[in-house]
Amino acid sequence: MKVALITDQHFGARNDSQQFLDYYEKFYKETFFPKLEEENIKTVLILGDTFDRRKYINFSTLQRTKQMFFDELYNRNISVYMLAGNHDTYYKNTNEVNSVDLLLREYDNIEVIDKPKTINIDRRDPSKNICMIPWVCADNYQECLDEINNTTAEYCCGHFEIEGFSMYRGLPSEEGMSRGLFRKFSFTFSGHYHHRSSSDGIYYLGNPYELTWSDYNDPRGFHTFELDSETLSFCENPNVMFHRIVYDDTITNNQEFTQYSNKHVKVVVVNKSNPYMFDKFMGDLYNVNPLQVTIVEDFTDLTEGLDDDIIDQAEDTLTIINKTVDNLQDDLDKTRMKNILRELYLEAINTIE
């Protein structure tokens, strides 16, 4: 039996941007559902953060979300087991009020799991049980630990904060649950962190598509899992939202701009000796109507060549924030400060298109 695993879809992100919804829809229409049809997959596990906002929903976004995703699952007779993630819950200390339960009751093919429980999705083999753990908060902390410790399930799915895993590429978490809690499971699959990574039998699956510049050049997609052979496969999303162009007018090349239509573009200027040529380049870029263009050209403080690592560091706002906090001389709880600043940064970028 083969299932699909997907997580952190964040419908409504980027202030309900229609261009991002178009980007999502292209993925589901051209990659996700064709793969399910090709593999004859009839069960989908969703590991949390289906919706982006904890407090409210944009009704236009909800309509499009149902049309592109939930209606398609229903029409294809696909069974869905869905965890409540932290973005799905109204309160921070309890999962009692959550959007996935309130907004998706019309679909009888969806089971929302907002309390820890063990399920069986393969009736041929009652031993192939899955321990399902929603967002762990103050209200359900002990209940979640009891389910993890007492279950006889072979696999675990959750929306976890586990110590030592990367929230984003190059940004490991310094807090979270101990990895030792999950050693009893053959596989532990988790949502929450958007960067794909794995260690000690724990697999952070990552989200299906790019949402911010922190996701640049970091493969996105979803996974399939064959229970009989215990084979996990990654299905990459071929669509990219964030693009980087290195501009150097000492090199002659024929630039194709159509791929940047309705995309975020960062132009890194290495050499700009001909202002007219640069203006023409930027004019051609703007003519294809990118969503947003950012120009990075002040590297006067750098004494060495512009390699990819340096340019990537210049683009990574979260890395800059963390390094700034680490360099503070005050006697502060730097881990807590970094977590607060990270939450503020992510909320800020999701309020603008």
Tens digit of each residue's pLDDT (9 = 90 or more) over 11-51: 999 999 999 999 999 999 999 999 999 999 999 999 999 99
Contacts of residues 143-152 at CB distance under 8 Å and 24 or more positions apart, as own/partner, are 143/115, 143/116, 144/116, 145/181, 146/116, 147/116, 147/117, 147/118, 148/116, 148/181, 148/182, 149/181, 151/118, 152/118
d(CA 80, CA 59): 22
Return the SS3 of 314: helix
pLDDT value of residue 249 = 87
Band of residue 306 on the pLDDT scale cut at 50, 70, 90: very low
- Helices then strands, counting H and E runs in the chain, come out as 11, 17
Counting Cα atoms < 13 Å in the Cβ hemisphere of 231 gives 7
Overall average pLDDT of the 222-230 stretch: 96
Whether the pLDDT of residue 318 is over 70: the answer is: no
Whether the pLDDT of residue 202 is over 80: the answer is: yes
Which pTM does this prediction carry? Answer: 0.85
CATH number assigned to the domain covering 2-236: 3.60.21.10
pLDDT value of residue 300 = 46
Token pair listed for 326:
């680490």
Band of residue 122 on the pLDDT scale cut at 50, 70, 90: confident
Overall average pLDDT of the 158-174 stretch: 87
Residue spans of alpha helices (H) in the chain: 13-16, 18-27, 33-39, 59-65, 71-75, 99-103, 141-150, 275-286, 308-315, 317-326, 334-349
Q: What percent of the chain has pLDDT over 90?
A: 73
Residues 6+ apart with CB under 8 A from 336: none
pLDDT value of residue 349 = 55
Overall average pLDDT of the 100-122 stretch: 96
Report the candidate in 186, 95, 99, 104 with the shortest Cα–Cα distance to residue 141: 95
The residue length of the chain stands at 353
